[in-house]
Structure 1
């Protein structure tokens, strides 16, 4: 066989002996865990002790070793990056330069650790200039992180190629993790720690030193919340409290801006942290162009070196509040997700505020202890040398003779140590027992140090060193003294570097809702029998004198009729009561806004009404907000009346809930908000009315039917209920189907017992028709009357004649043949009209 032939393969021999069998899933799992931990500990997460990731720590240490301090001249960034990469961080120059640049950005770091010179980027997202164009040096506050690193205060480890040593962590004279914050994404986890005010954090740390049992709430008396370098406002405090108590929270940050209605613009002066200004302006412009935001005429960026100034110029007549809310919803408010995750003993942990400060304090105690031990060793060594010098000075003649008569330096040192004897002819020399260090020092002494002044200085220095030794021993033996040193040093840093808070707190009024994006205005809402619904601005219908035909209010399809009309604000929450005894809840702005000549849209997606179900009454929830002692008083066609506390209507489902129980053939006719302290007036279709004390009707639940309110004759039925407050209301206003109406003084309706026949309210006949509505009114009220065909008439109640009860009234709205009044609503005029209303009232009173 040829000698070149391959050796026969033998299992278990040679390289095969080194092969180990392993399950692939176990190997993959362990390899991934090793990789994940490498990323977590070596790249992405900061250390709780100094608040730095390895790349930042190595940059600062490389600058320190190269002498690039705050007192030196600036050094080219490329030089710093090169030394960092070559000696400590072999992961590419771009990653190192990005970290260096961020430490120099005053809009990224609350207290920048690098003093940069040149273009290091901007809030517009502009990248830093190339590293060959920029220069940097350490900021003064960065040197506080490295202070005393040469005194064995922290552990060192070999760098990546074992040529040099690098610190595992920096001494960190202040809690940098909270002060400057940190962010990073590791494998399966991330951290996002906001920056804080240095003075507040130090005050909280001192509080924890003095009171180790302090709670998170106690520490929050000092740390109010994050303090972002870009300022802006934190909305509310609840999220901040949660973040400090649990280590996680979502903090809403809102831009600082002011609305100048005189100049018709909105000026933005501070942006949420890490918001890109250029992209913000671009997004606003896009939303203006696509119609998402309305009312903006122009956008200008007037920012300069002094700060941010973005001017949003409004169109003439635009609602500034609506535009402001639109900007808030889409652009001027962001969420900072706090994840206080850091490395503790090499393991990632989510920390509360107290735990973060406690971990820092443990580190700082270790640093100060190790520094004190180092300084104690140095002081004891110096004291030992000084003791030798003092002893030598006391025996200077013999010491000098011993050294002069020695054959060599080594012999002199040996003689001083007492290891040999030096012979002198004229006298016997004293023997000494100096230590080796003392002997070395004495032999190296200069003759000038033998003067009396030098001796005095040595004695003074020795006393000072002894005092220093005593102090260091005190610090090392007493934990309270060690904490006092830490506290003192922290307060010195606070005095040197602390500044005022930049980020303010504003009240949390809730997130911007769709309601905030809708201008608040009064509108007229029309509902038809076939469930078409719409809203129109109130000023679409100007007030007219009584007797007119009004104007078209809706375009009805063939066979459809108007069922109800009412006036409300776009921001009102309304309760819609139907003839079937159900109640629904809906915001007015959810009703589509359309023109007078539009038909409206199907209400099926807003109110789930059954066939034949119509809205018969509407109650504005602004009348009952925070009023637990008020009631909803309901009347039915068959004469029943019921009071139910408003508390029973707090949770109304989208499909509605039962408002009252109804007998077969009965329907809910009207609903009124009452307070239990005034009389009620019930009106019937045939012109009867009854007034009685509200207490005659006991409060009941929603599922109750109620009690008899009025005895009805023949086919008569109730059409309305109103509360009587003689200090607030002046008249009872009655409107009939054929468009007639009248005002009658409330005093003409004498109180009587419930379930009576009542008194004549209005004469009804073929001319004026049956009663369709009754309300109590006062000066300044406007009456809205809508016919079945869709005509709307608006008129001041003062235009309707005041007459007695037993009369037919006057024409309020002229009706076409076959048309009749479908719905009536009374609306109080706006405050802007109050003076005119009062003038009219005074004139009427004079007449």
Structure 2
């Protein structure tokens, strides 16, 4: 019954139901609602699967229709129609444009649709009409859909409540980073570049295994964007900023070759999303208008094998000038990174680590739900199999009970009563055929039951142990990497458009000296002429009171050096960055070059010019541990250094050698012991590993150094002691042993010799550079040092002042010191001082 008075005026009643509102408030709220609808429903990808709703709906519609990678291609109009009719109630042109882009190998790093027909080109040509093209899911797209039928993700009603669609796909790989995304919403936009699948998988695995990994640690795996069209990224700073902040501007430069002999510039790769046809037109327009000079012809010779734009130069044109004009206006573009994605329905700008963390959380939820779903299925199956086995044990009675029953329902009831079967077991037994009662069928049921029980146990372990669940994710990611990973297409180049400081520095061999108080300098190698052994040498550096020399090494002024410290850190250093000073100068503080901690000292230096990707850096510690790590693990070293080896409390890194997997290792101890073994006895490990025991040291002994022997090159093992004595011994004197032995006596130590300072593998023509703690430096030919057997005292190598001792030793190969001597002053000082 109405509460309104029967005499009330209908107009007053309607007026009472009207709510007054400020028009600006209503417009603001309506606009916000519209904006959020566009943001969440159209323009921005989900951080979990990297897809916008239209991409997700197309793939789901194809999956539901069975248009998978193993099926025949289906007309694109059919796919568009099913997507629009069931899931995406928008225009067919928007759906088809998205479908076409997912099939373009120049737009998607890993296309999600396998297209057949004309789907457009890098010249900006549009795809053919949808009635002419055909499509099906690409194999990698099925990895995004994998296990969707196993309750791995939540579903929601479609637009007309007839069907259900997934809120997100299971996504077995981090598609947001792998394929990137771009879109413009209301008041915000996203522009995420594509990346190499293998690099992203490696970073994801690193994050799973090391949750506290920093963005810098992850960037050791993800080198930078990897565009489907290749080209080059200029510099790395912008990439680093984008990964750390979620925003950055990356310069992408075309790949081209300047052929001065033929007088042409050939362009073979273009920046991502650059229209090739429009590029050629714009270059031609600039040539006609006089903005670019020196070009006489321009041809587009591109075909299905790749891009080839030929710029023919005039006879008197300077190729570098034309190249710079093209770079300034046409061959370089900026990719603005905005790593914006939906997190729990809200847009967020994410750094690299946050992006992967959200993905890993999603995969953990997917694997957990999948395991729970499978566990329920397996438990149901195990329950049925238990009933079948029980029925087979009582087969005669079961058959007789069924025969005596009036109908199926009565038979089920009788079985439940007589044999304590559950309703499900009884229903299954009643439906069993007589052929399943054979002995072979029985054996198969027993075998299946054992397999089901084993799988149940495995699933329960996964669900109860987070580490096991993470390992499942890691294994699946690595399987996808093995299946779909390919070579990086986009390279990194430095901006060489301007003359750099390095271009102004002459290439020459240098000696670098560092003290315990972190003073460092470099001097030309030719200032130190070779002397006979037993000389005192000349002043190599001036030291302040209480300071001592800690290391000396030789390098070219343009070399890039890997610097290892006693704390197990590795730094990258350019030789020319070290201040060049006179022999008597103290040097400059190294604080501006290397971020060393208190007590951290340089122990070994490796020249990157000597390294190949298939080689190893072999490290030994004071306490006798050895570790080999592949060179490729050190591809991205931060200015603050990275860890090269994990050290136990009190242990220190002593020495590093470059090996190729086939060398013999000789490790010398300070008490004069040495052990030789095959480097393969110490398996290759990651950067953060500790390594394995190399030598069983006596109490109070410590490792002095390591030598890597190439039997086809080296002739002797050279040992030098702190009191300036040393010797050469034939390689045959050091018989190979197993790792972790006590070794053999290498040299007699004691009051005369003191402890061993260094052990090196040398050959004919090598020079030894020895430096004392007080700053004296001596260079001598290794042949000057006598060849004697093991277990001898050796001869004097360097004549030291009282209370002085040898601090550091380095070997200069013949090819290096010969070149330096040829360029040096023949009147260089060689007398002792």
Query: Please, what TM-score do these two structures have when normalized by structure 1?
Result: 0.58
Q: Secondary structure at the match of 1:285?
A: helix
Q: CA deviation at 1:25?
A: 1.9
- State the Cα distance separating 1:26 from its structure 2 match: 1.7
Q: Aligned partners of 1:512 and 1:121: how far apart in 2? A: 41
For 1:627 and 1:433, locate their aligned partners in 2 and report how far apart those are by CA, in whole Å. Answer: 90
**Match of 2:203?**
204
Give the structure 1 partner of residue 57 of structure 2: 58
Q: Are 1:434 and 2:421 an aligned pair?
A: yes
How far did residue 512 of structure 1 move? Answer: 11
Q: Which residue of 2 aligns with 1:414?
A: 413
Q: Secondary structure at the match of 1:91?
A: coil
Offset, 1:374: 0.3
SS in 2 for 1:293: coil
Quote the Cα distance in structure 2 between the aligned partners of 1:142 and 1:510: 41
Tell me the residue number matched to 2:313.
Answer: 314
Deviation (angstroms), 1:452 = 1.2
Displacement after TM superposition at 1:267 (Å): 0.3
Correspondence for 2:160 = 161
- Residue 487 (structure 1) aligns with: 474
Corresponding residue pairs, total: 499
* C-alpha distance in structure 2 between counterparts of 1:628 and 1:210, whole Å: 44
Structure 2 CA distance for aligned equivalents of residues 303 and 456 of structure 1: 65
TM-fit CA distance, 1:30: 1.1
Q: Secondary structure at the match of 1:281?
A: helix
Shift of 1:27: 1.3
**Structure 2 partner of 1:87:** 86
Q: Is the 8 A contact 1:328 1:512 kept in 2?
A: no
- Change in CA separation of 1:316 and 1:231 when aligned onto 2, cut-off 3 Å: same
Q: Give the 5 Å matches for 1:209-224.
A: 209-224=208-223
Return the alpha-carbon distance in structure 1 between the equivalents of residues 194 and 87 of structure 2: 27
Q: Give the drift of 1:20.
A: 1.7
Query: Which secondary structure does the structure 1 equivalent of 2:419 belong to?
Result: coil
CA shift at 1:348, angstroms? 0.3
Q: How does 1:114-513 map to 2 (within 5 A)?
A: 114-418=113-417, 431-509=418-496
How far apart, CA to CA, are the structure 2 residues paired with 1:155 and 1:500? 35
- Classify 1:503/1:24 alpha carbon distance in 2 versus 1 (closer, same or farther; 3 Å): same
Question: 1:417 aligns to what SS in structure 2?
Answer: helix
Task: State whether residues 324 and 497 of structure 2, in contact with CA within 8 Å, keep that contact through their aligned partners in structure 1.
Answer: no
Q: Which deviations, in whole Å up to 9, do the C-alpha atoms of 1:332-376 show, x marking residues without a partner? A: 000000000000000000000000000000000000000000000
Q: 2: distance between equivalents of 1:413 and 1:12? A: 70
Q: Secondary structure at the match of 1:132?
A: coil
**Change over 3 Å in CA distance of 1:472–1:12 after alignment to 2:** farther
Write out per-residue CA displacement over residues 497-527 of structure 1, whole angstroms, 9 at most, x where no aligned residue: 00000000001346899xxxxxxxxxxxxxx
- Report the Cα distance in structure 1 between the residues aligned to 2:499 and 2:159, rounded to whole angstroms: 52
C-alpha deviation, 1:18, in angstroms:
3.5
Using the alignment, how far apart are the partners of 2:124 and 2:9 within structure 1? 63
User: How much has 1:628 moved relative to structure 2?
Assistant: 12
Report the CA distance between 1:127 and its aligned residue.
Answer: 0.3
Q: Which has the larger radius of gyration?
A: 1
Determine the C-alpha separation between the residues in 2 that align with 1:479 and 1:152: 20
- The 5 A counterparts of 1:442-841 are 442-509=429-496
Q: Using the alignment, how far apart are the partners of 2:80 and 2:160 within structure 1? A: 18
Cα drift, residue 164 of structure 1:
0.5
Q: Is the CA contact 1:325–1:512 (under 8 Å) kept in the aligned structure 2? A: no
| Residue 614 (structure 2) aligns with | none
Tell me the TM-score normalized by structure 2. Answer: 0.59
Residues in 2 aligned to 1:25 and 1:262: alpha-carbon distance in whole angstroms: 70
Query: Is the 2:99–2:113 contact (alpha carbons within 8 Å) kept by the matching residues of 1?
Result: yes
In structure 2, the gaps of 5 or more residues are: 1-6, 501-576, 582-833
Question: What SS does the corresponding residue of 2:305 show, helix, strand or coil?
Answer: coil
Alignment partners' CA distance in 2, 1:212 and 1:511: 42
Cα deviation, residue 16, structure 1: 3.9
CA–CA distance in structure 2, aligned partners of residues 225 and 288 of structure 1: 34
Deviation at 1:17, TM superposition (A): 4.4
RMSD value, Cα? 1.8
Cα distance change on mapping 1:202 and 1:350 into 2, 3 Å? same
